[in-house]
Amino acid sequence: MQSDLRAVLQYVPFFRGKTFVLVIDAARMPELALAESLLDLIALQQIGVKLVVISIGNGEARIDHLLIDGELKWQSAHLEKDQVESILNRGQLALIERPELESLGNEVVELASSLGAFKLIVFLSEQVSGGNAISSEDARKWQGESEVLLHRAAEVCILGIPRVHLLNENYQGVLMDELFSNEGVGVMVYADDYLSIRPIAPDDISELLAMVGRSMRDAHLVPRSYEEIETSLSDFLVMTIDGNVVGCVALHCSNDRRCAEIACLYVKQSHGGQGYGQLLVEAAEQQARELGIPWVFALSTRAIDFFVEQLDYHPCPIEVIPDSRQERLRSTARESLVIRKTIT
């Protein structure tokens, strides 16, 4: 599960009062995975999440028998909006047992949409491919494995449900590991602002310094103070996932605006391998483009291959960058290479 306690705790107020609709085939799920999911429902109910569980499938297991043995407050319901809302408003879980329904069928989606559900969570018999989080726009264009499922999830988002989670029911603890981490362990198709890149705010400075502290200590990034960042806030962009800062980049313009430096590029280790570094650099390049700056450069030691192979940067002599930056580079012990890219 997510090891960053702050990232976990921020979800508690974020989820409180929201409605989650879960679709489960209790007879098909492994016994331990089902038992842990029911415990997770207790935890979600305790933090104020409104829960609707739709039990499907034709197996012999009945989820109501399992709920009786637990600590959940619940009541059986029909597939009717008014009845379900009444149960939710009493602080109870609404259990709907309809073996014939399909996980993402029209009746399930219509109920979730009518309730204003924030999440539709579907337990499936296998892992869905596609990555941890996919925008509904990308899901609509998806081709290949899981294509039909992802296309349907995108349609569900269009119908007004911001997030559709496709989880592997065989994974013990899948519900909490999916919901209480930025990246999750299943596949989420989203239609809201799950991921964004925005200008840094003053409240983000401490988080940024804590995030990049390790790389600063290891000399991967130039050390920066709170005051230094505070005086150049307009240079910095941060990437957030569900409101958590997970990456940053800076664009330092030269005095004559003939070029700009892309610096302080960092993505949390827990979020590596998702292409977020490229998104941050591209956002900084776009910012430079909008300012009419013709080319950008970066100083790098370990990220040379990333810039050259993925972002089309090219090595160049140190003499091409502004004198002030040359002097600062020569005065440090860092053996950085200069790479540049024409963007306009």
- For residues 223 and 324, membership in a common domain is answered with yes
337 and 227 in a single domain? The answer is yes
Taking only the tens place, the pLDDT of each residue in 252-303 is 998 888 999 999 899 988 777 778 999 999 999 999 999 999 999 998 877 7
The CATH number of whichever domain residue 70 belongs to comes to 3.40.1160.10
Sheet with 259-267, strands from edge to edge, namely 195-199, 236-241, 244-253, 259-267, 295-300, 337-342, 314-315
Regarding whether 86 and 28 lie in a shared domain, the answer is yes
**Cα–Cα distances in angstroms (integers) from residue 227 to residues 106, 178, 233, 239, in the given order:** 55, 37, 10, 21
- Note down the domain range covering 209: 196-342
For residues 263 and 307, membership in a common domain is answered with yes
Among 171, 191, 211, the domain-final residue is 191
Tell me what the mean pLDDT of segment 207-216 comes to. Answer: 71
* High-pLDDT (> 90) share of the chain, %: 54
Instruction: Identify whether residues 174 and 208 lie together within a single domain.
Output: no
> Do 211 and 336 share a domain, yes or no?
yes
**CA neighbor of 110 nearest in space, from 91, 89, 96:** 96
Which value, in Å, is the radius of gyration of the alpha carbons in the chain? 24
How many domains is the chain built from?
2
Last residue of a domain, one of 161, 191, 221: 191
Of 167, 191, 215, the domain-final residue:
191
* Same domain, yes or no: 18 and 154: yes
pTM of the model: 0.74
Both tokens of residue 270? Answer: 């827990």
Q: What are phi and psi of 118, to 5 degrees?
A: -85, -30
| Residues 6 or more apart in contact with residue 177 via CB below 8 angstroms | 1, 2, 171, 184, 185
- Same domain, residue pair 254 and 132: no
- CA dist 326 and 21 (Å) reads 57
Q: Are residues 31 and 159 in the same domain?
A: yes
Burial of 288 (C-beta count, 10 Å sphere; 0-12/13-18/19+): buried
Confidence (pLDDT) at 219:
44
**Residue pLDDT, tens place only, 214-236:** 555 554 555 677 788 888 889 99
Quick one: 154 and 282 in the same domain? no
List for the chain the helix, strand, coil content (%; round to 5).
40, 25, 35
